[in-house]
Amino acid sequence: MKDITFIGGGPAGYVGAIRAAQLGADACIIEADELGGTCLNRGCIPTKALYRNAEVIELIKKSEEFGINAELLEINIDMIQKRKEDVVETLVKGIHHLLKKNKVEVIYGNGILLDPQSIKVLRNDGEIDEVKSKNIIIATGSKPFLPPIPGCTREVVKTTEEMLAIDCIPNRVAIIGGGVIGMEFACILNSFGSEVTVVEMMNNILPTVDSGISKRLKVMLKKRGIKFMTGTTVKNIRDEVDVKVITVEDKKGEHELIAEEILVSTGRVPNVDKLGLDEIGIVYDGKGIKVNENYSTNIDHIFAIGDVNGESMLAHAASYQAVKVVEHLLEDKDVVPSPVPGCIFTSPEVATVGITEDEAKKEGLAYVTNQFNFSANGKALTLGEGEGFVKVIADKESHQILGVHIMGPHASDLINEGILAVEKGLKAEDFTSIIHPHPTLGEAFHEAVLGLIGEAIHQV
């Protein structure tokens, strides 16, 4: 009998299995497809590989301001896809090596729950196995959601999975959904040369992000040529000869949008099908499997982590949950909640952690905020990326940092200092004795924090 068995080998399953092995447990993974899950094979990593191509394209376009006469001659989509696949393959091989090194058994097939400690495995080679395990952790992730719009089918539209595999760059693309995934693809495809239109039902893009950032980002992306139709609903989609026709409705009424390709990025739903949840009585709904504070389902010995529980559909949140539930099982530790950061790979990048100013207002908190612009940061200007800012929110009386929101160069890297500040409950005064090297982008965060207490040097 195994100590812990994971159904799913994505960033929740494989990370949890390795941590279990480190703690001396006999761990097993049941994986239906490929190790790494959606994140590595069809999500985070391949998207960021394409994002890097887009960054290079934009840098070439700006080369003249660096005194270099360069011309973008041709975009080779085959070479772009080959590079993306090589990156994915390298990382997948790395996971295989790590699991082998940690003596984690991997069984390829579909896992079906039989009882609290038994899983039937329909193996990919056609055989049927049964795995006994003291504890079972469901980590089956999520899949793209297609909204119930007439004509919105996989034959007509593309999800992110199909868009990542394109073999030619479409001239006109309509993106339904202005959330994180939609905006990342909008920037990538715009850099590749597509005419991009984003259709968003809400009144602004990135509705969960601090409104100061989402509004400013929208203005910046409009300057790049990306079109936005916010406060707009999609009524139906028609597949016609060589084009697709989208009927949309806004406050002015109904009208049509023409595109060669349609990307639907309206969110994701948990993978709960064919797990045997109903048969053994595990409670779940459309948002995911219900869990308690230690990620246990309503049945003893069965847990659910990552996207499948619907709490936070982010790979790093899934990995964190995996480690903590394993430590709960093997070391009797309670799971301690931690602020979950978010990174959005638009151009420029956006990264956030903690409370937004909108949330602070809604909750009636007494707070102070300060914003430091990258246009006053020496390193950002040398990079030619002076747009954007660092925004910090703190308690008005104690100056404890409650939220950090960054839009600008390398925001996804800069947010780490903000995560530490929010997680550890640091105060603005704690940063007065911390030296930040010069010239670096990190100085922008330092100045933003010191500005909360009137001690920023390079801010009027």
How many other β-carbons are positioned within 10 Å of the β-carbon of residue 390? 31
Residue type, 86: D
Of the candidates 96, 141, 133, the residue with the CA atom closest to the CA atom of residue 117: 133
Structure tokens at 49: 């590989």
Of the candidates 443, 435, 361, the residue with the CA atom closest to the CA atom of residue 402: 361
What distance in Å separates the CA atoms of residue 394 and residue 353, rounded to the nearest whole number?
12
What distance in Å separates the CA atoms of residue 337 and residue 294, rounded to the nearest whole number?
10
* E strand segments, 203-341: 227-230, 233-239, 244-250, 253-259, 261-264, 268-270, 284-285, 288-289, 302-304
Asked about 438 being catalytic, the answer comes back as yes
The gap from C-alpha 65 to its chain's centroid, in whole angstroms, comes to 32
Per DSSP bridges, beta strands 233-239 and 118-123 are unpaired
What distance in Å separates the CA atoms of residue 64 and residue 83, rounded to the nearest whole number?
27
Catalytic residue, chosen from 97, 405, 436, 438, is 438
How many other β-carbons are positioned within 10 Å of the β-carbon of residue 329? 23
Contacts of 93-96 with CB under 8 Å at 24 or more apart are 95/9, 95/14, 95/35, 95/36, 95/40, 96/35
Instruction: Report the alpha-carbon angle 243-247-248, nearest 5.
Output: 130
Per DSSP bridges, beta strands 349-354 and 401-408 are antiparallel
Catalytic residues: 438
